[in-house]
Amino acid sequence: MTRATVTAAAGTLAALTLLAGSAAAWPAPEPEPPTPAPRLVSFDTCADALARLRAAASASVGPWGFQPGWRTSFAAGGAGEPLPAPGAGDGARAAQGATPEHSGTNVHEPGADEPDLVKTDGRRIVTVTGGVLRVVDPATRRTTGRLDLTGDDARLGSRGSSLLLHADRALVLLGDGTPMLPSGTSARRPAGGPPGARLLLVDLAGRPALVGTYRIDGSLLDARLTGPTARVVVRSRARLALPELGDGVTEAQRLAANRAAVGRADLDAWLPAYDWTEGDRRGDGRVGCDRLAATADSTGTALLTVLSFDLAAGRLGDGDPVSVAGDAETVYGTAGSLYLAGRRQRPGQLRPRGGGGPAGRDPGTAIYQFDTRAPGRPRYLAAGTVPGTLLDQYALSEWQGHLRVATTSGDDRGTRPATESGVYVLTRRGDLLTRVGAVTGLGRGERIHSVRYLGPTGHVVTFRRTDPLYTLDLTDPATPRVTGELKITGYSAYLHPAGPGRLLGVGQEADADGRAQGLQVSLFDVADPARPTRLARYHVPGAGSAVEFDPHAFLHDPRTGLVALPVHDGGLLLLRVAGATVAPAGTVTHPGRAPVSRSLLVDGVLWTVSDAGLRADDPAGVAGPVRLAWLPAT
């Protein structure tokens, strides 16, 4: 007799061994006991997998579908200039080891590159905007290659593109695949072709050339590049066709009909399908049930698939996919680990509508850890749970064998929110991420707006009316503690290290009632963890910056103190941080006030990117940046 097996250690997880190769006056929420970690389930047969998925989805569906009030039927289905001859100039520079100094994408952790719409290795700048990939030689300030990625259904569309760069290969990722509708639903496949997360591999050694494509059911969640290996995380929904019933049907009848529909679904409703091209070769497939594992409390409505691609190989292949029947919204990566984290759900417990906390007991956040130290597909290590919800990947930090996680718990609806935040320290024991320490009670009545860990020190910003910047000592994982607190108006939505004992904050100034008053850049002195102070600030009334929600838009050069950040009027604001001061250093604008989205430095030259083109400037001009070149997109 076959059965589903709940594993107690990573070594016995059969299905996943193939992953190897201000304090407010409001009362605080009542403390909750830790919830059991979401151990994974492997399957002896595909029939076992199907039975588990059907049972979980059946327990999660209600009379009106998989979300309160969701009454529609859910159909099955996935919802330039000539290029110089290669080798001469670039080859000579590479041979001499004289790659120009350059900035990289502003990422959370060294050794884990993140996809963005512009990349540089110092020898070339590669951008993807408006569905067109462009290559620029920063030495000659000329466009040396262009590749249109639109038009053919086998290629990418023009929206939501980003890329990863390794040697002479660019991996372009498109995230606007199957729309992420409420749990357990997906859109009908559009007439233009199958949806899904789509990737393409471009060879940059000569003229940019498309050498491979890949598409899989679902939506791109995120990706990380460690060495030559790109690991792409795709989030998909079960494609379950629920009946469309007319009036005069009771809720009990609707529920019975929905559960009957779930009971008729086969594995194709859950397992993502994929297809790929490599030159004239084509292939397709579906994630096998031998590549699937499930959390014991899975709702049966969402799947996470991790794809692995060796960019040095010059081909994509089938992506070596593995899937977990669970859900996540956040990807955090280091040079040796990949974490997937998301709001935990249990069968029969639906995610509430609106931005407030969940009704009833907080299910917490589930976290899955994978080992990415070896090339190829990752190896599953462990899972764990913490109370509350994450803000973003910066709420997570791996340090000296421990994972630090900052979350906010409680209900923030109404005029007297019952919320508080905390930092939890986890360590891996067998296949579990086990809590070994915690500090809670931060910012009662508020929510986390930013987090930054600097080795054994943590910095957490909470906000509702004022901005407490908390400093935490995390040296002893068993006894993390708050060492200092700074209360100022406004908040920092992004924190960035700015040298020893210095921290930059980008966010909003606010009045006494918590109403935003415009862009605020703050320089903090955190050298004394007991007495954090603000040394300087720069305020732009009525403005905002993309950095507040997208750290990739932030540039800081620690050698010169240059800080660059896009502002909402379309330009790029330049600041200089020196000593205890933050001073304006000019602005950069593009023709037609095209919004500047990114900035980077190559050999001391500031490059800015917009849909209109690329601009090169000398940022050291006395009166502000001095324009050196303009390369239009067309």
Question: What percent of the chain shows pLDDT beyond 90?
Answer: 65
Kindly state the average pLDDT of the residues 410-424. Answer: 86
Q: What is the pLDDT of residues 562-581, one digit of tens each?
A: 999 999 888 999 999 999 99
Kindly state the average pLDDT of the residues 57-71. Answer: 71
Kindly state the average pLDDT of the residues 241-264. Answer: 91
pTM (global) more than 0.75: yes
Residue 624 has pLDDT above 90, yes or no: no
Q: How many CB atoms lie within 10 A of CB 34?
A: 14
Kindly state the average pLDDT of the residues 602-609. Answer: 97
Residue 128 has pLDDT above 60, yes or no: yes
Phi, psi of 289, deg, nearest 5: -65, -15
More confident residue, 296 or 81: 296
Residue 191 has pLDDT above 70, yes or no: no
Pairing verdict, β 292-295 and 322-325: parallel
Question: What percent of the chain shows pLDDT beyond 70?
Answer: 81
Most distant pair of Cα atoms in the chain: their distance: 79
pLDDT band at 97 (very low <50, low <70, confident <90, very high): low
User: Distance between CA atoms of 605 and 426, rounded to whole angstroms?
Assistant: 43
Kindly state the average pLDDT of the residues 307-335. Answer: 93
Q: What is the DSSP letter of 116?
A: B
Helix axes 251-264, 46-60, angle to 10 degrees: 160
- H or E segment at 129? strand 125-129
**Do residues 235 and 248 touch, judged by C-beta distance below 8 A?**
no
pLDDT at 15: 35
Q: Which of 449, 554, 549, 447 is nearest to 496 (CA)?
A: 554
pLDDT at 502: 96
Kindly state the average pLDDT of the residues 392-418. Answer: 91
pLDDT at 466: 73
More confident residue, 412 or 342: 342
Residue 180 has pLDDT above 80, yes or no: no
3-state SS, 543-572, equals CCCHHHCCHHHCEEECCCCEEEEECCCCCE
The encoded tokens of residue 65 equal 């579908």
pLDDT band at 333 (very low <50, low <70, confident <90, very high): very high
**Do residues 522 and 492 touch, judged by C-beta distance below 8 A?**
yes
